[in-house]
């Protein structure tokens, strides 16, 4: 998928919404535990309830890996289900990988070919050769962590390197030269809106994947007002605020309501 195609979906659906599928088995409604694949059943209901309101889904790999083989099988079923539901939905593997070249190639094959994800999140710590193998796949994307939404982001990402330039800016400046606006995005947390201006100065047209709305406390208004590019260029993630909006028989209906409320805030 190209950036233009993704921006077109955003305009058609009037939505920047990315639904984070971070499924904690202990938090899904009790009645689903009787199903053979409870996590997939939960995801399918969430997808059915939100597919016309979201442009992207983002399963976080940790939650599937922690269940072992059955978890990974339900991840595959989930990706396949999203694909069959609407081929224009953008599917992100939230994996935050980052390794040397020959390993990166294996991860790229795993996520882009075996699982058919559109994109994968990557940590920049190991530098250019840990990212480049992901940029070799037509229509696929690397999403590089720049400034994350968690407290620990200030431990290293905000340290000044060279002439008073924080590390995350240096990551952005270097990384924009590694790929294009059609294969490279950045993760920028909603919890640090004071940095959006600097980020857009360095990467005015790149897509930004923005976590941190909802449970982590980021403001949707701040993101929408300050992080958009001219074409749109935002995927705004919400995981827990949608997934666990309800936990009874009507959990999918509640999830839809939460997604609708969020979409209203996009001002599109």
What residues are annotated to the active site?
Answer: 96
How far is Cα 34 from Cα 70, in angstroms, rounded to an integer? 15
135 makes contact with a second copy (CB under 8 A): no
Taking residue 120's Cβ as centre, other Cβ atoms within 10 Å add up to 23
252 makes contact with a second copy (CB under 8 A): no
Cβ 268 to a second copy shortest distance, Å: 27
Closest CA to 2 of 233, 210, 188: 233
**Residue placing its CB nearer to a second copy in the complex, 101 or 248:** 101
98 makes contact with a second copy (CB under 8 A): yes
115 makes contact with a second copy (CB under 8 A): yes
Stretch that binds a second copy, among 11-19, 30-38, 83-91, 118-126 (CB under 8 A): 118-126
77 makes contact with a second copy (CB under 8 A): no
Cβ 40 to a second copy shortest distance, Å: 14
Alpha helices in the chain (DSSP H): 3-13, 38-50, 61-65, 69-85, 101-108, 128-131, 153-156, 167-175, 196-202, 220-226, 240-243, 251-264
Stretch that binds a second copy, among 33-41, 43-51, 165-173, 200-208 (CB under 8 A): 165-173
Cβ 149 to a second copy shortest distance, Å: 7
48 makes contact with a second copy (CB under 8 A): no
Beta strands 160-161 and 141-147 are unpaired
Tell me the helices (H) and strands (E) count for the chain, helix number first.
12, 10
- Judged by CB under 8 A, the chain residues 197 through 216 that form the site for a second copy are 216
Between helix 251-264 and helix 38-50 the angle, nearest 10°, is 40
Among 7, 43, 50, 60, binds a second copy (CB under 8 A): 60
Coil, strand or helix at 87: coil
How far is Cα 219 from Cα 247, in angstroms, rounded to an integer? 24
Among 84, 87, 102, 230, binds a second copy (CB under 8 A): 102
DSSP letter (8 states) at residue 151: T
27 makes contact with a second copy (CB under 8 A): no
Residues that bind a second copy (CB under 8 A): 22, 24, 60, 62-63, 65-69, 72-73, 76, 94, 96-104, 106-107, 109-110, 114-115, 123-131, 145, 148-157, 159-162, 167, 170-171, 174, 216
């Amino acid at each position: 998928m190209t950036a233009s195609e993704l921006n077109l979906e955003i305009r058609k659906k009037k939505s920047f919404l990315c639904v984070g599928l971070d499924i904690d088995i202990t938090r899904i409604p009790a009645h689903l535990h009787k199903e053979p694949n409870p996590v997939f059943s939960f995801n399918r209901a969430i997808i059915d309830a939100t597919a016309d309101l979201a442009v992207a889904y983002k399963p976080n790999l940790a939650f599937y890996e922690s269940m072992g083989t059955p978890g990974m099988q339900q991840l595959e079923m989930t990706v396949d289900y999203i694909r069959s539901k609407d081929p224009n939905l953008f599917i992100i593997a939230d994996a935050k990988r980052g390794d040397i070249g020959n390993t990166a190639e294996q991860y790229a094959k795993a996520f882009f070919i075996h699982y058919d994800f559109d994109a994968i999140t990557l940590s920049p710590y190991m530098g250019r050769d840990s990212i480049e193998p992901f940029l070799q796949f037509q229509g696929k994307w690397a999403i590089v962590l720049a400034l994350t939404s968690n407290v620990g982001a200030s431990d290293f990402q905000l340290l000044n390197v060279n002439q008073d330039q924080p590390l995350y800016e240096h990551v952005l400046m270097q990384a924009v030269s590694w790929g294009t606006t059609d294969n490279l995005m950045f993760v920028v947390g909603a919890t640090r809106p004071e940095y959006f201006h600097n980020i857009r100065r360095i990467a005015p047209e790149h897509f930004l994947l923005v976590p941190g709305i909802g449970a982590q406390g980021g403001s949707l208004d701040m993101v929408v007002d300050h992080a958009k590019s001219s074409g749109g260029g935002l995927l705004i993630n919400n995981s827990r605020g949608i997934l666990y909006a309800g936990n009874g028989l009507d959990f999918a209906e509640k999830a839809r309501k939460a997604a609708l409320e969020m979409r209203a805030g996009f001002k599109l």
